[in-house]
A and B are shown apart, each in its own frame.
Chain A
Amino acid sequence: MDSSNAEAELSVTASSIRITDVTKDGDILTFAITSQKFYSSGGVCVFRTYEDFDWLQQNFFSQENVPGLQGVIFPPLPPKALPSLLNTASKSLKQLGFLALGHDWQSYCKALEFYLQQVATHPILSKCKALDSFLTKSESPGKQRGRKGILNRLSQAVEGIRKESHRDVDDFFQKERHKNTNRAALSKVATEKILDVVLTEQKLSLACGHFSTCLHLCVNQDDEAAVAFSKICLKLSDIVEAVMRNFEKVANNNISTLGLGLDLEARYEEAEKEMLFRRTCKLIELETVKKNTEKAKANKRDAMEEVQKATEKEFSLISSVAKQEIERFHSSRVTVLRSFLVGWCEKQLDTAKECAKLYSQYLDACKNLFSE
């Protein structure tokens, strides 16, 4: 029995996992991951690069002796960020989408943190030893490329599209596949659209800054009238600056809550899609085996029936794990979306109130100043 995949408890609490820092060295981003030990009061801090995350994900894919592993919805890992190639905003947006926004990789770190929390709370994946060593061992897992799981990039198969629409034997799954396809497409669109909104807000912030700077050019002390006019221009400049800062805050709120949430949702739907696809592939495999068994000549028939039985067993394991995963997924995504929506609304409300107060102060100040 391969002890590396023996059941293990995670030694840190999932909720305490944080990415506290990120440093950049050329093209390599290094993340500082901290967590609290479960059985003691100590904390752990490790440093990992994207390669290490990838190694972890590969380990998840390639676990052996986990029944129905293919039925697991694997929490999605964000795509790799390549800082040196991402020197233009448009390139980085293309590659990372929403996660490219936010100062100093904030959104990206948040997404990675979320990933870790998701795997740490997953009933199957949290038991993987690789996770514990990832989170607690100070040496990095190393460049063990090791076994490439069978689960890599399955959905990219050329015949994928044909297979995807293969009719299911189970009504529950047929429906779920359909709904998932819809949700995946729509959440992707929604993420793109909020990205557009945020980009425009950032443009607006810049435009305000420009306007405000121009107003400063109007200062002129030549005579009394000019002085009075300059005062007015400076006041307007202050106000426009306030508008600018408001846009910045609003954009940041959008990025850190709703945007992040929608991005996560979109990627998770993709992960579910991949799982469903794997199951569908298995179904096709099973149906093919059944057909071949029927056609098989007598001498081969027993062997074929063995294969068929094994395949059937695999398929039903996958299906049962999948069902659980799907239910878990649905309840957790509602919770997650809820918390993002509430957080977003609260943040925007606070920002809006702050801004209203500021404008009100400016209004009073201007009324006083102008009536002199």
Chain B
Amino acid sequence: MSASCGRNPPPFPDNDDQEAELDTRVLDSDEDDDEGEDIFTGASSKPITPTSAPEEADIFSEEGSRIHHTTNGLHSDEELDLFTEATVELTLTNTTSQGRREIIGPTALACNTAHVRNSIHKPSIVNKTTEELEEEESKDQFELNVAVTNPEKMGDGMNAYMSYKVSTQTTLPMFRSKTFSVRRRFSDFLGLYEKLSAKHSLIGCIIPPPPQKSVVGMTKVKVGKEDSSSAEFVEKRRSALERYLQRVAAHPSLLQDPDVREFLERDELPRAVNTQTLSGPGLLKMINRASDAVNKKTVKMNESDNWFESKLQEVENEEQLLRKLHTAVDSLVNHRKELCSNTAVFSKSVAMLGSVEENTALSRALSQLAEVEDKLEQLQHQQAFSDFFILAELLADYVRLLGAVRCCFEQRMKAWQRLQEAQSTLQRKREAEAKLLWANKPDKLQQAKDDINEWESKVNQYERDFERVTCTVRKEVLRFEKEKTRDFKQHILKYIESLLHTQHRLVKCWEAFLPEAKAIA
């Protein structure tokens, strides 16, 4: 069988065994003891060349314009690090370095051994057993870290847009250098998705979907509203773009795509205009989607393998479940925010009470109480942020990812449809030929034979396509499930840590207040 895919399948990512230990990227400069140190060097990661010494420009650290999000008013003297729980870890250090655990997208980063083996595996595409597929995955490793930072507003008025710094650090030889960064805007990310989708979805890959457009959010930013909601929006988007890129980079086939490389490396990217909703291609896309939806319902495959049918059902069920979960977490986040504002109001009322109080000790205790409530509000705010970025966004991402998984099942169904149509066309051609033979019209016979040959080869082609898609889909789904489990595990750990962290701070608050209360006489 000829190599039907025009390029070599890439090395497979590493398996769970060698999780990267990554530290929280600290955006707040106050706690940045590692300032200047290249956060990608770790004790154990030898391959990051010895020359990546601490002096090397740490492209992953925040530049001048730090995102402090002062609009949330969170600069307490305790330096509550807003982003401690909310950001993605990118350093490769040992677990023992800090107690913090990592949260990262599905990028399987081989910390301890970063031997980038360029040995290309060309899996034979014919039916593999699940075990064989899994085994293949554990063989190769690759290494690439990507981060999205430093959102900056460019331009002004309604033509303004946010540009983000996309930084990559890698040891893969296919890139020109080991660390580099470029600036990209949101439409560039969408453009990347379009390109990848066009090329890879047909063969059944699960393409990670990019974050959604938001007219309201962007308009606020454009208009220049400097309030906490637009800052939150930018942070939400930045984080979503980062996760998106990390998922793309974690996908072995996609990483090899020249478009991805171009996206990461090239200084200036041509503006992706066909990502605008109301553009020609945009409208076309909408129409296509609508017609797809209609088609889906009219096709019923007869499955030789039950696996696909039951898996699709599972995926659909799971999507519904995750939606429910997301709604539940969303309401939790909103209630936390409500609690924040109520606590703030209460704190003020207590402060006023303290100010009219004559008894000095009681007055002091009341104003201390107001301060305690203020701190509680900050902690609540932080926890709401954690809830959101750790849980809510995770669930939202997976709802969309499951949608992408469904798409890939649909692609397989389309391939099958094509095959069926080709087969029935072939059948008709054969019948036509038989008729001609019977009617004894030799001149048209040659044409009929040509037709049959043409369609026979088409049928063969489509058969191979279908087999390949089937195999790819199966592989992709397995990989996806593994990633999902790993992702969730990491996020849950991160979540408990954030809960614990908040709780410890809370204990300190109460311990500080108790003597004040007791001192009232």
Contacts and interface: CB of A to CB of B under 8 A. Distances in A.
Contact of A352 (B317, B356, B510, B518): B510
Interface string B308-322: 001000100110010
Given A193-B346, A338-B520, A352-B510, A367 B493 contact: yes
A225 B485 contact: yes
A341 B520 contact: yes
Contacts of A344: 517
Interface in A162-200: 179, 182-183, 186-187, 189-190, 193-194, 196-197, 200
A40 B301 CA distance: 91
Interface stretch (B35-43, B223-231, B326-334, B434-442): B326-334
Contact of A187 (B353, B478, B500, B517): B353
A214 B338 contact: no
B510 A190 contact: no
Given A215-B325, A232-B489, A363-B493, A348 B510 contact: yes
Nearest to A362: B496
A52 B126 CA distance: 89
A35 B288 CA distance: 81
Interface stretch (B48-56, B166-174, B357-365): B357-365
B484 interface: yes
B329 A211 contact: yes
B503 interface: yes
B326 to A, nearest CB: 10
Interface in B468-516: 478, 481-482, 484-485, 488-489, 492-493, 495-497, 499-500, 503-504, 506-507, 510-511, 513-514
Contacts of B324: 214, 217
A334 interface: yes
B332 A204 contact: yes
Interface SS of chain B: helix, strand, loop or mixed? helix
A359 interface: yes
Given A183-B356, A341-B365, A359 B503 contact: yes
B518 A190 contact: no
A342 B335 contact: no
Contacts of A366: 489, 492-493, 496
Interface string A92-119: 0000000000000000000000000000
Given A228-B485, A352-B507, A342 B517 contact: yes
Contacts of B284: none
A232 B356 contact: no
Contacts of A200: 335, 338-339, 342
B120 interface: no
A229 B495 CA distance: 17
B511 A349 contact: yes
Contacts of B158: none
B358 A179 contact: yes
B346 A190 contact: yes
A356 to B, nearest CB: 4
A207 B328 contact: yes
A204 B520 contact: no
Contacts of A362: 496
B335 A190 contact: no
Contacts of B331: 207, 210
B517 A338 contact: yes
Contacts of B356: 179, 182-183, 186
B310 to A, nearest CB: 7
A189 B345 CA distance: 10
A358 to B, nearest CB: 9
B221 interface: no
Interface in A37-64: none
B517 A341 contact: yes
B520 A334 contact: yes
Interface residue tally of chain B, by bracket? 35 or more
B352 interface: yes
Contacts of B342: 193, 196-197, 200
Contacts of B362: 334, 337-338
Contacts of A334: 359, 361-362, 520-521
A222 interface: yes
A229 B346 contact: no
B413 interface: no
Contacts of B336: 204
B343 interface: yes
B339 A201 contact: yes
B485 A232 contact: yes
Given A190-B350, A337-B520, A222 B314 contact: yes
B492 A232 contact: yes
B492 A235 contact: yes
A239 B325 contact: no
A229 B514 contact: no
A324 interface: no
Interface in B406-440: none
A338 B129 CA distance: 72
Given A197-B339, A207-B335, A359 B350 contact: no
A249 to B, nearest CB: 12
Contacts of B359: 330, 334
A337 B349 CA distance: 16
B493 A211 contact: no
B250 to A, nearest CB: 17
B405 interface: no
Nearest to B477: A225
B349 A359 contact: no
B249 interface: no
A342 B485 CA distance: 46
A182 to B, nearest CB: 5
A193 B345 contact: yes
A154 interface: no
Highest count of chain B CB atoms <10 Å: which of A189, A190, A222, A233 = A190
A207 B335 CA distance: 8
Contacts of A201: 339
B349 A186 contact: yes
A344 B509 CA distance: 13
B499 A239 contact: yes
B346 to A, nearest CB: 4
A193 B485 CA distance: 43
Contacts of A186: 349, 352-353, 356
A232 to B, nearest CB: 5
A363 B101 CA distance: 11
Nearest to A187: B353
Interface in A331-368: 334, 337-338, 341-342, 344-346, 348-349, 352-353, 355-356, 359-360, 362-363, 366-367
A218 interface: yes
A330 B361 CA distance: 13
Contacts of B314: 220, 222, 226
B489 A359 contact: no
A208 interface: yes
B321 A218 contact: yes
Nearest to B357: A183
A363 B485 contact: no
A203 interface: yes
A189 B500 CA distance: 33
19 contacts: A182-B356, A187-B353, A204-B336, A204-B339, A207-B332, A225-B481, A229-B481, A232-B488, A233-B488, A243-B499, A334-B362, A337-B520, A338-B520, A338-B521, A342-B514, A342-B520, A345-B513, A352-B510, A356-B503
Given A239-B495, A342-B518, 9 more contacts: A190-B346, A200-B338, A203-B335, A211-B325, A214-B328, A338-B520, A356-B507, A370-B489, A370-B493
Interface of A: 179, 182-183, 186-187, 189-190, 193-194, 196-197, 200-201, 203-204, 207-208, 210-211, 214-215, 217-218, 220, 222, 225-226, 228-229, 232-233, 235-236, 239, 243, 330, 334, 337-338, 341-342, 344-346, 348-349, 352-353, 355-356, 359-360, 362-363, 366-367, 370
Q: Lowest 4 A-B CB distances belong to which pairs?
A: A349-B510, A225-B481, A211-B328, A193-B346
